[in-house]
Amino acid sequence: MKKRIGLILKIAAISFLTIRLGGYAAADKRSKDFANQSMKNEGAKRMYKKLTTNMMVEDVNRTVDFYSDVLGFEFVMGVPQDSQEIVTAKQKGQTLGFAIVKCGDVEMMFQTRKSLAEEIPEFNGMKIGGSLTFYVEVENVEGLYAELKDKVTILKDIQTTFYGKREFYIRDCNGYILTFAGDV
């Protein structure tokens, strides 16, 4: 099991395998071959379509503002607090309980602790911020770093990794850690 996990991590680090419509879409042939072999080994065909984060936050409006104003995301839709109405434009003075933002192919959802805990009681009392990072590949990592360095908390300055990426880490307004990466 450890050997297989190590191999999975190695393949992921080399090519950043992503899940796409209709199954696996790999960054290179080795990853695609590995993914296809893994699916055969599991004995079942998987039909993953998409992976989108749903991040628990205290204040959806503040979070949408951070991702829009600082990181360049666009508001897609939201649901006002204690409502089932869907809004497609952010309205001044309206408190959101849920929202979706998007930038390019990256989509993120934000939901209040209250709303999320009503759906999934296990979230009651959980700390916001998580023990995970969000890895976002970008076109111009150097330019993004220069644009953000004075606007956000930089956790790790831009550096070149052993697997050939330029990366830096920031903390968002809720404590979540975002990694931005680009080609060397």
* pLDDT value at residue 14: 32
Higher pLDDT, 149 or 23: 149
Q: Find residue 108's DSSP bridge partners.
A: 53, 101
Whether 12 shows a pLDDT value over 70: the answer reads: no
Across the range 76-94, mean pLDDT stands at: 94
Whether 152 shows a pLDDT value over 90: the answer reads: yes
Across the range 151-164, mean pLDDT stands at: 96
Domain 52-128 has CATH 3.40.47.10: no
Query: What is the 3 state secondary structure string of 103-158?
Result: ECCEEEEEEEHHHHHHHCHHHCCCCCCCCCEEEEECCCHHHHHHHHCCCCEEEEEE
Task: Give the best-scoring range by mean pLDDT among 9-13, 17-21, 54-58, 117-121.
Answer: 54-58
Under the banding of pLDDT at 50, 70 and 90, the label for residue 141 is very high
Query: Percentage of the chain surpassing pLDDT 90?
Result: 66
For 18-36, the pLDDT digits (tens) are: 332 333 333 445 555 555 5
Across the range 109-137, mean pLDDT stands at: 91
For 129-140, the pLDDT digits (tens) are: 887 899 999 999
Spatial contact of 69 and 78, defined as CB atoms under 8 Å apart = no
What's the CATH number of domain 129-184, 1.10.10.10, 3.30.720.110, 3.30.56.10, 1.10.3720.10? 3.30.720.110
* pLDDT value at residue 48: 77
Output 119-126 pairs: Cβ under 8 A, ≥24 positions apart.
123/56, 126/56
Q: If you search the block for the tokens 């976002």, which residue do you land on?
A: 136
Higher pLDDT, 5 or 53: 53
* pLDDT value at residue 33: 57
Q: What residue spans define the domains of the chain?
A: 2-42, 52-128, 129-184
